[in-house]
Structure 1
Amino acid sequence: MYSLSMLIVLGGLLGLYVLWKSKAPRAPLPPGPKGLPIIGNVGSDLPRGGKDWEHWLKHKDLYGPISSVTTAGHTHIILNDANVATELLEKRSARYSSRPRMVMAHELSGSDIFVTVQNDHATVRAQRKCILSQLRSENALSSFYPQVDMVIRRFLLRVLQEPDKLIDHVKTGIGGVILKVAYGYTVEFHDHDPLVDLVSKTAFAFGRINQPTGYLVDSIPALKYLPSWFPGARFKKEAQEYRRGFDALANWPFAFARHQIKEGTHEPSFVSRLIEQKGSLLSPEEELKIKCSAASVYQAGYDTTASTITSFFLAMALFPAAQHRAQEEIDRVVGARLPTPDDRGKLPYVNALINEVLRWNPVVQIGIMHATTEDDIYEGYLIPKGASIVPNIWAFAHDPDVYSDPMSFRPERFLASDGHTPERDPHTLVFGFGRRICPGRPLVDFNSFLTIARSLAVFQIRKAMKDGREIDPIIDYQEGIVGHLSPFEVSIQSRSTEHEALIRSIEVEDSISRGDSAVLESVRV
């Protein structure tokens, strides 16, 4: 046995060691604005909604490619350089693949049902594996092509019939593709669809609550104990509303798919295939995994693809030369039909144009934050355990050291030619880094190509006219992490009577086709 005196000596040595460790010099945090005691940079040093990426980009001029702020003892590391992001979030992904636990996103609103913000590593791995088992590549998605083909053709018809409602048609068309793939659900093209309306609301909520420092309660967690009636505690009511939306998004379309499978009337889908693979062995845990995985596919796939397609239509009105060159390529390669997935490899300029849309207006302006699982040192700076890492995707995509003349729209930057090496593929920036790359990216890419290539094939997109004069569309963005444009006006017409006939070839089928909203209402949860 140890003597009392020896225990006292050991205790004293341990105390001295702890004291020495607390006094030992540590590497400094990356530079940033000087904060106040206790609260740190809470206040004017942080963005509060709006264009976060513009606020954080100012740090690059002031502090360099990596900077930091603190909020009530919590460290945020701001990355304004793609090479720094690649080094930390990809090459050191073992330390940087977690997500910060945010009060609003996780504790109050329940948005952690989505794999994109989930920070339990076992859950993340299980859901990613589930998604990738069905949506890993365009080859895997090809089996859904007949259903997707019909939805996109109906989208083209709606745009032709009511071009002034472009944004609504994009929401319905993009939502229709993803709902068909995820759940085998047919949207209502003749009226508002309840699931499209629902995801529009939840997408807005998701973007707001996952903004870095977007809610004060994330900087000062004790505020979560305020009653919802207390002045300044409106976030509590918002969180309750958001939670109802997220729960409905996970449960309602899943209940529809389950009902259709039970009735034997289902179409092949992400959900039906996974359930059929398990058969009678489907446990409650497996069902929850499939349900949350499908909700993640719908939420993220809808949000990012809708942003891409609206950005495309605006870009074509602003940059007609790029539109004309893409149309010439489609006419030469595809001819008088609609492009299919098999045409993609023969349309290099169209692919370059899609890349430029992604770069010019990234689908995600501020990446969803990563979190460190242990201390790290980068260029002499301390990245402490638990820090939130904020990748400024807009800054990466408009960096003049990476992209020549970054404010210009130039698809040819991605084409190899004599004396020109293609610039960095924006897919490596906008869909995440390391172990948190978006698992639904192949579906977004598949959907974006078909929608954009077919729109180029049949439409002429121009600036809107008023009193005989062109109207320059206003480029502005909605609040949130996804690059959703504010409403804008453009002119959309068929390129010719032959192209109009090609679009209208689906009219008879469209007129008798009905969506699944009636069945959906019967299984409302």
Structure 2
Amino acid sequence: MEFNVDRFNPTSSYLSVVLALTVLFLVERFFRGRRRSLGNLPPGPKGFPIIGNILDWPVYQEWFTFIEWGQKYGDIMSVSLLGQHMIVLNSASDAFNLLDQKGTKYSDRPVMMMGGELVGWSKTLALTRVGERFKEYRKNMHKLMGTRPQVVQEYSDLLELETHKFLQRTLKDPKKLSDHIRKMAASVILMMTYGYKVQESKDPLCETVDLAMIHFSITTTPGSFLVDVFPMLQYIPSWVPGASFKTKADSWGKHFKKMGRLPFQYVKDSMRKGTNIPNYVSNLLDTEELTPEKEDIIQWSAASIYTGAADTTVASIYAFYLAMTLYPDIQRKAQEEIDQVLGSTSTYNGIDLRLPTNADRDQLPYVNAVVSEVLRWHSVVPLGVPHATSEDDVYKGYFIPKGSVVIPNIWKMLHDPDTYHDPMTFKPERFLGENPERDPRDVFFGFGRRICPGRFLADSSIFLSCAMSLAVFDIRKVIKGGKEITPVVDYTTGTISHPQEFECSIKPRNTKAEALILSTH
């Protein structure tokens, strides 16, 4: 009989075969888990003996299922997948209390067999377990972009240059908006990390990383592959009919190694030739007392920086264009603020017309509110990257066992009607006035020791992209057959979620805006 242990589908018939082959192991694990969890676990959907909630586990936009469960069981709940405890947090206050305040217990990562071990992503910061390697990664990254003033002072020129190029590419071919956003994000982070200048045409390094990020999003979604909840399947020979996850893991693992090796070798070659542009990798190679272990840490911490920014920033800026297409009144109000500060004619108070910069940010409160609402409205990493407990814990009378996988439902936290009025509506005004609603950055970038180390760079990049785009473009619905086409608001499933592809019209606001876009840098 054939069975498929590829991407997890709990209703498939292979499940009975797998269970039959491993029943003794599972029974032992089940009863061991029962002994360790005699305390009062958080409530959750009732599962079956041994397999737990494997038949209930969602495989599409999981955050919505967790919200439904939360309405019945509460903001903190537990499920079990083949003996593995999964703790879901729907409340920001619970996430702060556990992942921030109890960071020593809640900062580890679970072993993700498919994405982390078989493909290799455990070598990057996102999935690195807590320990000395994790500390080295964080220390090195802090030197590059650890504070907001540092990012603004050192990288504003680079951000402004690459965002201006993005405007030019979009003016030339607005239908390739998503591609242009990706190239802009890649250009910034590759120059910072490797001193690498992205090719204007198709760039092989960018394409390599883009494909790797697709693999990451697929393979790191909790429960996405059965091998994640039943690690023994890693030992199934690849020739077993239906065991295609082994073939994928091998192919994607080779691609992952290539992604880390190519740009790192580029820096070493450039340093040897004397053509190197100072960057994160070369600075560390120059200052560190190199051992094979140190060099490996530098290589994969650099890959962590790029992969951490390559997809998340892209999703936020794409969501901004979707929001402006759907909310023209908000777009117009933001443009009016920019015009008032920078000038809507050739000069304003004797100052030549120019694009917004980071130096203008404090004078653009409404544009800032638009950026904040972009972060809240579209949760780029809707379930974060799962944490894991390194010790037993008791919280609100509930027992949370060591080794539990803890999933913060960031999408729910940023759409909680008790925190954000009318949460499904794009409404920047919620962040203005005497009683603004909570800054989404408190949740958007993660929690505790696992908070995104590139959050200040990402925030600056998103602000510039939004502000510059608003200054020169009118973003509208496409008209077909005399009718406006309203984009559908929907999101992709995976660790990193993008708005589904949509059409919009992007045109210069006027001839002066077009001239400004085409001006030299």
Q: TM-score normalized by structure 1?
A: 0.88
**Residue 109 of structure 1: aligned partner:** 119
Among residues 462, 473, 488, which one is paired with 1:474 in the alignment? 488
Among residues 311, 314, 322, which one is paired with 1:314 in the alignment? 322
Spell out the pairing of 1:484-495 with structure 2 (5 A cutoff): 484-495=498-509
Alpha-carbon separation, structure 2, partners of 1:369 and 1:285: 27
Question: Per-residue displacement from partner, 1:235-285 (whole Å, max 9, x unpaired)?
Answer: 11121122122212211111112222222212222222222333xx33322
The structure-2 alpha-carbon separation of the partners of 1:461 and 1:23, relative to structure 1 and needing over 3 Å to count, comes to closer
Spell out the pairing of 1:296-311 with structure 2 (5 A cutoff): 296-311=304-319
1:265 aligns with 2:275: yes
What amino acid is aligned across from residue 403 of structure 2 in structure 1? G
Q: Between the two proteins, what is the percent identity of the paired residues?
A: 45
Question: Per-residue displacement from partner, 1:331-353 (whole Å, max 9, x unpaired)?
Answer: 11233211112111221111111
Among residues 246, 261, 266, which one is paired with 1:236 in the alignment? 246
Larger radius of gyration: 1
1:153 aligns with 2:167: no
SS of residue paired to 2:383: coil
1:143 aligns with 2:154: yes
Q: CA deviation at 1:174?
A: 1.3
Spell out the pairing of 1:111-190 with structure 2 (5 A cutoff): 111-141=121-151, 142-189=153-200
Alpha-carbon separation, structure 1, partners of 2:240 and 2:415: 42
1:32 aligns with 2:17: no
Question: Per-residue displacement from partner, 1:176-228 (whole Å, max 9, x unpaired)?
Answer: 11111111111122x21112211211111111111111111111111111122
Q: CA deviation at 1:27?
A: 2.2
SS of residue paired to 2:379: coil
What amino acid is aligned across from residue 474 of structure 1 in structure 2? V
2:159–2:464 CA contact under 8 A, matched in 1: no
**Residue 193 of structure 1: aligned partner:** 203
2:36–2:401 CA contact under 8 A, matched in 1: no
Spell out the pairing of 1:69-468 with structure 2 (5 A cutoff): 69-141=79-151, 142-189=153-200, 191-278=201-288, 281-335=289-343, 336-417=353-434, 421-468=435-482
Q: CA deviation at 1:316?
A: 0.4
Alpha-carbon separation, structure 2, partners of 1:38 and 1:162: 55
SS of residue paired to 1:413: helix
2:107–2:130 CA contact under 8 A, matched in 1: no
Alpha-carbon separation, structure 2, partners of 1:318 and 1:326: 14
Q: CA deviation at 1:24?
A: 10
What amino acid is aligned across from residue 166 of structure 1 in structure 2? L
SS of residue paired to 2:311: helix
What amino acid is aligned across from residue 170 of structure 1 in structure 2? I
**Residue 7 of structure 2: aligned partner:** none
Unaligned runs of 5+ in 2: 1-33, 344-352
- Give the stretch that moved more between structures: 352-361 or 134-143: 134-143
Q: CA deviation at 1:23?
A: 7.8
Alpha-carbon separation, structure 2, partners of 1:300 and 1:327: 31
* CA RMSD across the alignment: 1.6
Alpha-carbon separation, structure 2, partners of 1:324 and 1:69: 46
Alpha-carbon separation, structure 2, partners of 1:53 and 1:382: 23
Alpha-carbon separation, structure 2, partners of 1:135 and 1:54: 34
Alpha-carbon separation, structure 2, partners of 1:407 and 1:475: 10
Q: CA deviation at 1:147?
A: 3.1
The structure-2 alpha-carbon separation of the partners of 1:469 and 1:389, relative to structure 1 and needing over 3 Å to count, comes to same
1:67 aligns with 2:77: yes
2:182–2:311 CA contact under 8 A, matched in 1: no
Q: CA deviation at 1:87?
A: 0.8
Alpha-carbon separation, structure 1, partners of 2:378 and 2:118: 31
Alpha-carbon separation, structure 2, partners of 1:75 and 1:271: 39
- Give the stretch that moved more between structures: 336-345 or 157-166: 336-345
Alpha-carbon separation, structure 2, partners of 1:242 and 1:493: 39
**Residue 31 of structure 2: aligned partner:** none
1:47–1:214 CA contact under 8 A, matched in 2: no
Question: Per-residue displacement from partner, 1:392-451 (whole Å, max 9, x unpaired)?
Answer: 11110100011111011111111133xxx1111111111110111011112211211111
2:182–2:314 CA contact under 8 A, matched in 1: yes
The structure-2 alpha-carbon separation of the partners of 1:366 and 1:319, relative to structure 1 and needing over 3 Å to count, comes to same
Alpha-carbon separation, structure 2, partners of 1:203 and 1:398: 26
**Residue 26 of structure 2: aligned partner:** none
Question: Per-residue displacement from partner, 1:273-317 (whole Å, max 9, x unpaired)?
Answer: 222333xx3332222222111111100111110011100000000
The structure-2 alpha-carbon separation of the partners of 1:338 and 1:36, relative to structure 1 and needing over 3 Å to count, comes to same
Q: CA deviation at 1:455?
A: 0.8
**Residue 19 of structure 1: aligned partner:** none
What amino acid is aligned across from residue 112 of structure 1 in structure 2? S
SS of residue paired to 1:33: coil
The structure-2 alpha-carbon separation of the partners of 1:458 and 1:214, relative to structure 1 and needing over 3 Å to count, comes to same
Q: CA deviation at 1:383?
A: 0.6
2:190–2:306 CA contact under 8 A, matched in 1: yes
Unaligned runs of 5+ in 1: 1-21, 510-525
Q: CA deviation at 1:328?
A: 1.2
Alpha-carbon separation, structure 1, partners of 2:180 and 2:255: 22
The structure-2 alpha-carbon separation of the partners of 1:216 and 1:86, relative to structure 1 and needing over 3 Å to count, comes to same
Alpha-carbon separation, structure 1, partners of 2:36 and 2:407: 28
SS of residue paired to 1:26: coil
